[in-house]
């Protein structure tokens, strides 16, 4: 049987997403997906390590009060890192293939915005920006971009309690969109995974804080 993408080579694999039979050159073995379903290849292992050390450098030790009001002896801030194109490109690439099968990405302003844009550029899929809080007297909508009828993958920079992602999911669901996955750059491992799971959301971290601190 010929590859159902290029029509030239012999098909050797079946894409787990679209179920088509594809050849070696139209298949990404790491993902089990064809090149149509995953147009961007994941980073090579050494580049993932490079990215890990860049993100590790964003972990600052000290006494901090988090947005939630909780105290912490460390703080993760990748907002500065993602102003750098090389880091943003690597993250966009890693985030985009974790959204295979989704119609697009969604992120809460401000931290996730560069990330959803990067994922969108890599994957060719649209994105949605979710506003932080509903403005009391404003006429602004809670989100920018198309949500109704779309299956969206939420992207976060840093996940702590999962509250931000949960609110994003509520906005998407109340606007007739579908969401069941949150991809985060750093999971602080403070209970978000369980809270999100109980709200039918799977947390997919690129890095866990335990990997970053020990590295």
Tell me which residues touch Zn ion (CB under 5 A): 3, 5-6, 9, 15, 17-18, 23, 26, 34, 37
Closest distance between Zn ion and the C-beta of residue 99, in Å? 14
The CA distance from 136 to 140, in Å, is 10
Residue that the structure tokens 């609110």 belong to? 167
- Closest Cα partner for 18 from 38, 1, 41, 42? 38
- Closest Cα partner for 40 from 119, 126, 155? 119
Closest distance between Zn ion and the C-beta of residue 180, in Å? 20
Closest distance between Zn ion and the C-beta of residue 10, in Å? 9
- List 178's β-bridge partners, or say none: 151
Closest distance between Zn ion and the C-beta of residue 30, in Å? 14
Nearer to Zn ion, 36 or 163 (CB): 36
- Is residue 110 reached through a cis peptide bond, with omega within 30 degrees of 0 on the bond before it? yes
Contact between 25 and 5 under an 8 Å Cβ cutoff? The reply is no
- Closest Cα partner for 203 from 187, 213, 212, 190? 187
Closest distance between Zn ion and the C-beta of residue 195, in Å? 32
Q: Which two tokens stand for residue 84?
A: 């750098």
Nearer to Zn ion, 101 or 126 (CB): 101
Nearer to Zn ion, 2 or 132 (CB): 2
Q: Which two tokens stand for residue 38?
A: 């995953």
Nearer to Zn ion, 4 or 156 (CB): 4
Angle between helices 45-56 and 85-97 (to 10 degrees): 120
Closest distance between Zn ion and the C-beta of residue 123, in Å? 13
Nearer to Zn ion, 10 or 202 (CB): 10
Nearer to Zn ion, 3 or 147 (CB): 3
The CA distance from 105 to 158, in Å, is 16
């Amino acid at each position: 049987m010929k590859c159902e993408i290029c029509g030239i080579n012999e098909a050797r694999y079946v894409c787990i997403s679209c179920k088509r039979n594809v050849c070696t050159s139209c298949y990404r073995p790491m993902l089990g997906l064809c090149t149509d379903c995953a147009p961007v290849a994941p980073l090579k292992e050494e580049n993932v390590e490079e990215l890990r050390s860049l993100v590790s450098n964003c972990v600052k030790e000290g006494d901090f009060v988090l947005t939630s009001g909780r105290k912490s002896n460390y703080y993760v801030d990748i907002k500065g890192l993602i102003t750098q194109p090389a880091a943003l490109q690597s993250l966009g690439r890693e985030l985009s293939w974790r959204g295979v099968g989704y119609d697009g990405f969604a992120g809460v302003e401000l931290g996730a915005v560069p990330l959803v844009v990067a994922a969108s550029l890599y994957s060719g899929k649209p994105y949605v920006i979710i506003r932080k809080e509903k403005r009391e007297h404003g006429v602004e909508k809670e989100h920018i971009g198309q949500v109704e009828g779309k299956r969206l993958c939420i992207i976060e920079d840093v996940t702590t309690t999962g509250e931000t992602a949960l609110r994003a999911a509520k906005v998407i669901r109340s606007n007739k969109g579908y969401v069941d996955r949150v991809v985060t750059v750093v999971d602080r491992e403070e209970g978000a995974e369980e809270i999100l799971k109980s709200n039918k959301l799977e947390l997919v971290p690129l890095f866990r804080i335990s990997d970053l601190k020990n590295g």
